[in-house]
Amino acid sequence: MERQLSTESENRQARWVSLTHLTPAEWHALPEAFCAFLDAAGTATARPTFYNTADKQRQAMDRLHEDLSALDRGIYAAALLLPGITDHTRQLGLQRLVSTPRNRPAVLSEMQEKAVLRCICADLPPQRMLNVFADLRTARVNNARTRKLILGVLLGDKRLEFWSVKYRRKLAAALQHAWGKRTAGILRSILAKPGDMRDEKERRILSKEIGRFLVDGADRSNVEECVSFILGNKDRLTLPRLQAYEAAKLDLAQGKTLPYEVLEGIRSRFHRNVSHAQVLELTKSQLTTSQRMALQRAARRSGVAVEFDPANYSAERLYLYAFEMGLTEEIRLELRRKARAAADQSPVRFQHVAVLLDTSASMIGHDKQKRRPIAIALATRDMLCALTDRATVIADSGGVAPACELVEPGGDTSLAWGLAYLLGRGPDAVFVLSDGYENAPAGRMAEVVHAARRLGCAIPICQVSPVFAAEAGGLRLLCDEIPAMPISKPQGVGLALLKAMFESDVERAVGALLRMTLPVLEPLVSKLLRNEGTADVW
């Protein structure tokens, strides 16, 4: 069976061109649609930018998602699994795939597409996954695929007990949407009874609505208790975190195993005389890595020692932290280590790289995600420096901008002089890290590029952008003659290589896309095909 599945996978990769449904006109449109999608998918977030509102970004993203998925939803689905794709893009993709029907052939089978949905759910942080389920509820998307995906993901996850206290309301809304109010009410009534008091009909209902979604080795009684708690039953609790949730209402110290924000919510309602610092002290061992970073300032004010290990955070997040709290030598050393690790994943090395860093005010980004563009640019600068024997790095505001050092953005964007200077140093390549908004003066960099090419300068120049430009439907280009790559993290440079393949050879590019994603999907597809119970979930 395993060999048969492996052979079928190889055949799918080998035969996909002859099986494609695309017309010549659609083949012609595919590279542009895919590259525009990739530009946005590697940079777009749900937040506004310095120049665009969140609504404008969402409208532009919806068009790009629609353009690619309308050509081939298999290529679209596979693209959602690429490294460097933002969580926001995956959230939009998950919602689109479950809410729209398969009405024409695609390069991925229906089973593979369903495996994509599971992979996306597994990769997304749970709160973002639950936000997608909430959006589906708001949009009244309640087809069979949606219901089975929600129930399979939530009831089959080993973290359900933890989620039950941290995301109880969101879980209740998602489960009620999947089951419907009537069935959810019936389940709540059945689960309120002791197990030995349930009749045969009630046990069949539990088996149909809960039991068939459990993974191998799952404790059904624990899952049923979590569901009972989520739906509002509070009696006969046996699971430690569920007991702690109820006990903390009377004695806050009993909630030390609860997530920080959950115990803080209980404090604000039942123990208003207790300080925030006491909650932080009780739950400091339960803090997530994100909370350990975000609560450092509050912890210092409260005199609470909260362990913070820079190794647990991405380079861009460390830069955001350094802008807020200061760049320590410990963080600087970790930034160097991460830059080397990212460089080791690259198939390309250089002898001499030149980097022009846009440090204008627009690189601060919007207040809702302050300094994100410059943080990504600095992390990318570090990786590029680690890729070369010699690096020349300057800021557009003047002066050097060495690796693993902060650069505070401000002022206008004036990139032309810096590009001319770097081209004169004779590097192997020049990377311009910018959001694409040049204004001092606008278009001057393009003039420098045109002049350099007329003079015979063939040094490769590449724009690297961490910002999605809604009005451009992708990246805002500094010059039509130089390629632009989207990036949300240094490791996302691989997206540029795939983008270049789509621009030059569509058949080879789609084959590469499938080779990158099918190995991730096939184990899950094989499991679904082997396991009759799991296949029924789909």
Reported as a single tens digit per residue, the pLDDT across 145-195 is: 999 999 999 999 999 999 999 999 999 999 999 999 999 999 999 999 998
Residue with tokens 């001319």: 420
In this predicted structure, the answer to whether residue 334 has a pLDDT above a threshold of 70 is: yes
Mean pLDDT for 426-453 is 90
285 lies in the same domain as 334: no
Residue 143 lies in a domain: no
60 lies in the same domain as 108: yes
Find the domain containing 386 and state its range. Answer: 328-488
pLDDT-derived band at 471 (thresholds 50, 70, 90) equals: low
pLDDT of residue 347: 57
Whether the CA torsion 365, 371, 373, 374 is positive or negative: it is positive
pLDDT of residue 295: 76
Residue with tokens 């809410």: 99
Residue 21 lies in a domain: yes
Q: What is the mean pLDDT of the chain?
A: 86
Residue 297 lies in a domain: yes
Mean pLDDT for 512-529 is 78
pLDDT-derived band at 368 (thresholds 50, 70, 90) equals: confident
335 lies in the same domain as 472: yes
Task: Give the integer Cα–Cα distance in Å for 377 and 456.
Answer: 29
347 lies in the same domain as 472: yes
Residue 408 lies in a domain: yes
3-class SS at 454? helix
Q: Are strands 484-486 and 350-357 parallel, antiparallel or unpaired?
A: unpaired
Out of 284, 310, 336, a domain closes at 310
Residue with tokens 């005010």: 361
376 lies in the same domain as 252: no
453 lies in the same domain as 380: yes
What DSSP line would sit under 158-176, residue for residue?
TTHHHHHHHSHHHHHHHHH
CATH assignment at residue 407: 3.40.50
25 lies in the same domain as 118: yes
427 lies in the same domain as 504: no
Residue 317 lies in a domain: no
How much of the chain exceeds pLDDT 70, in percent?
Answer: 90
pLDDT-derived band at 58 (thresholds 50, 70, 90) equals: confident
In this predicted structure, the answer to whether residue 515 has a pLDDT above a threshold of 50 is: yes
8 lies in the same domain as 32: yes
CB atoms within 10 A of CB 223: 24
Whether the CA torsion 456, 350, 35, 423 is positive or negative: it is negative
Mean pLDDT for 443-459 is 92
pLDDT of residue 494: 60
Q: Domain tally for the chain? A: 3
Contact 309, 365 (CB under 8 A): no
- Residue 513 tokens read as 């896309």
Residue 415 lies in a domain: yes
Residue 163 lies in a domain: no
pLDDT digits (tens, 9 = 90+) for 68-127: 999 999 999 999 998 778 899 999 999 999 999 998 888 898 889 999 999 999 999 999
pLDDT digits (tens, 9 = 90+) for 154-164: 999 999 999 99
Task: Give the integer Cα–Cα distance in Å for 344 and 337.
Answer: 11
pLDDT of residue 19: 38
Out of 488, 508, 530, a domain closes at 488
Q: Are strands 350-357 and 429-433 parallel, antiparallel or unpaired?
A: parallel
282 lies in the same domain as 386: no
Residue 426 lies in a domain: yes
472 lies in the same domain as 500: no
Mean pLDDT for 408-435 is 90
What DSSP line would sit under 217-278, residue for residue?
T--HHHHHHHHHHHTT--SS--SHHHHHHHHTTT-GGGGTTS-HHHHHHHHHHH-TTS-HHH
3-class SS at 352? strand
pLDDT-derived band at 530 (thresholds 50, 70, 90) equals: low
pLDDT digits (tens, 9 = 90+) for 194-232: 988 999 999 999 999 999 998 877 899 999 999 999 999
419 lies in the same domain as 294: no
